[in-house]
Structure 1
């Protein structure tokens, strides 16, 4: 039963990581866009950094669940 729970948690973390990655990439594009105001570009850059932190966190947690599911 614990293996199933860990596998489900791994899938959940993988989905959350994918969402953070997509958000990060979108924010990076906004931050680079010369047609966007400097305030919005700065905000998008800050958000991209936060998304990268989330992406890394979900990757780390997902790998932990994946390893636990193997045992």
Structure 2
């Protein structure tokens, strides 16, 4: 039962990590857009940093669940 739970948690964290990656990339593109206002670009840059932290956290959690599912 624990193996199934860890597998589900691994998939969930992997999906959330992918979502954070997509959001980070979108925010990076907005931050680089010279047609956007300075405040919009600054906000997007800050959001991209937050998304990067979220991405890393989800990836770490996914790795833990993947390893736990192996045992």
TM-score by length of 2: 1.00
| Structure 1 unpaired stretches of 5+ | none
Q: Which runs of structure 1 show a deviation greater than 2 angstroms over 4 or more consecutive aligned residues?
A: none
TM-score by length of 1: 1.00
| Structure 2 unpaired stretches of 5+ | none
> How many residues are matched?
71
Rounded to whole Å, the distance in 1 between the matches of 2:53 and 2:35 is 27
CA shift digits 1:6-28 (9 cap, x unpaired) = 00000000000000000000000
Rounded to whole Å, the distance in 1 between the matches of 2:68 and 2:2 is 9
Shift of 1:50: 0.1
